[in-house]
Structure 1
């Protein structure tokens, strides 16, 4: 599966509206490889957080990307600039799979996936309208970027038990927080390469590490190294900022037969 953004744009970005908002979930947007929609739990909490889900149903043989899909993919994106009383959205990700299409190795999903979304509502007691321009890469042999406007009125059906259950289940499916016996540690790094030690339960052959390039960093595909019972992953640093950022660090997900955890590594 080969994908580059210029190629995809030559194929044409599918961009349509999924229909007006009538409830706490949007209408489904149908595309060649499946369909997707937004679902919310109905009302924001006192701090202004409204929990939701980007619900993606993929047809057999189709795929979509994780938060860092590699050098040639496109991650899920949500633009809320047309919304009212919504200032931001943070997407969370279930543990991805490693894919090798013969052209590149990348992280993503080849099954229906629900991505939790936390919307920020500045004035929780005021009317809120979500008009989200969602951008996804949905792929079979060639990836085509798909854009759709999904609309929700969170107050229209705030007691919808089905929507609330779907959001709760999606949040429960996220990786748990890293622990001393299941997590990753950044070793002292050279400028061109970083090395990460991984500790996880289960068969070492089933352990994989997914690192997200953020805050100006970009990394190559992790390469496994096993020696004397110690498992490490080395990654090429493709790009880095001129100065270390002040954020949380580099997010990672570590998977094994024992489950999945996520955490942050110090900026290298």
Structure 2
């Protein structure tokens, strides 16, 4: 992907003003490569969470990024600090595809995509208004940023069947949890590589492995090898923290011809 500097040079292109919250879905915000909006299913669930999606309608030929955009991209970001009664918002990601644009290999989507997002309420019994500052990169031959505030009042139209169906459909696209016969096993590596063995259904040629670099980790594109009928991915560690974290782990997605799973692996 083109360098991050190119993205930042065009930042003014994608800026949008906040709009009044008036419905359980926001208005569309239009940019050069497509449009985005925020949709919610309305009511909070019993755990005090509101489920929604960032709906990204890309124009033909345009792409956007997965949770790890590679060494020169921008992952989707959401800031809900201006919201009322919302403490947190977290994206979930459908299985990505591998892209190579001549500048590098990266993970993302070359089609319209709806990213599920979960909003956590401070006080589950009270009303909430979402004012979400959105930032994401979309790319054709060059990349441009899309930056806007999308506003939603989930209680304004809490029984909108179309919105609820969109959220439900987006959640259905997410990878299933990894399991013994469809997942990965971490193999011995070294300071500069992460090595995993993949178990999955279907054709090995259709399998791919994606790991998200977080907590100051950065990964290169995986190299594939087969040994004794096993598929192994060796992933270069391009950068890492000075001290290996002891809490949490790294998100990964394993795709195959018959679906996808996700999980968390230990910090290498």
Q: TM-score of the superposition, structure 2-length normalised? A: 0.96
For residues 99 and 112 of structure 1, the distance between their equivalents in structure 2, rounded to whole angstroms, comes to 16
The 5 A counterparts of 1:78-157 are 78-157=78-157
Q: Quote the offset at 1:163 in angstroms.
A: 0.8
Bigger mean CA offset, 32-41 vs 9-18? 9-18
Q: Match of 1:204?
A: 204
Q: Quote the offset at 1:11 in angstroms.
A: 2.8
Q: Match of 1:3?
A: 2
Q: In the alignment, is the contact (CA less than 8 A) between 2:218 and 2:238 conserved in 1?
A: yes
Q: Quote the offset at 1:193 in angstroms.
A: 1.1
For residues 25 and 18 of structure 1, the distance between their equivalents in structure 2, rounded to whole angstroms, comes to 14
Q: Quote the offset at 1:139 in angstroms.
A: 0.7
Alignment partner of 1:135: what SS? strand
Q: Quote the offset at 1:19 in angstroms.
A: 2.8
Aligned residues: 267
Q: Quote the offset at 1:145 in angstroms.
A: 0.8
Bigger mean CA offset, 211-220 vs 12-21? 12-21
Give unpaired runs (5+ residues) of structure 2. none
Q: Match of 1:251?
A: 251
For residues 201 and 46 of structure 1, the distance between their equivalents in structure 2, rounded to whole angstroms, comes to 36
Q: Match of 1:186?
A: 186
For residues 17 and 114 of structure 1, the distance between their equivalents in structure 2, rounded to whole angstroms, comes to 22
Residue-by-residue CA offset, 1:203-260 (whole Å, 9 max, x unaligned): 1111100000122222111111112211111111122223332433111100110111
For residues 9 and 57 of structure 2, the distance between their equivalents in structure 1, rounded to whole angstroms, comes to 25
For residues 149 and 246 of structure 1, the distance between their equivalents in structure 2, rounded to whole angstroms, comes to 35
Q: Quote the offset at 1:101 in angstroms.
A: 0.4
For residues 9 and 239 of structure 1, the distance between their equivalents in structure 2, rounded to whole angstroms, comes to 22
Q: Match of 1:27?
A: 27
For residues 110 and 194 of structure 1, the distance between their equivalents in structure 2, rounded to whole angstroms, comes to 27
Residue-by-residue CA offset, 1:179-207 (whole Å, 9 max, x unaligned): 11111111122111111111111111111
Bigger mean CA offset, 14-23 vs 184-193? 14-23
For residues 173 and 22 of structure 1, the distance between their equivalents in structure 2, rounded to whole angstroms, comes to 28
Alignment partner of 1:151: what SS? strand
Give unpaired runs (5+ residues) of structure 1. none
For residues 11 and 215 of structure 1, the distance between their equivalents in structure 2, rounded to whole angstroms, comes to 27
Q: In the alignment, is the contact (CA less than 8 A) between 1:26 and 1:39 conserved in 2?
A: yes
Alignment partner of 1:131: what SS? strand
Q: In the alignment, is the contact (CA less than 8 A) between 2:11 and 2:147 conserved in 1?
A: no
Alignment partner of 1:108: what SS? strand
Alignment partner of 1:8: what SS? helix
Q: Quote the offset at 1:265 in angstroms.
A: 1.1
Q: Match of 2:16?
A: 16
Q: Quote the offset at 1:18 in angstroms.
A: 6.0
RMSD of aligned alpha carbons: 1.2
Q: TM-score of the superposition, structure 1-length normalised? A: 0.96
Alignment partner of 1:166: what SS? helix
Q: Match of 1:54?
A: 54
Q: Match of 2:225?
A: 225
Q: In the alignment, is the contact (CA less than 8 A) between 2:37 and 2:55 conserved in 1?
A: yes
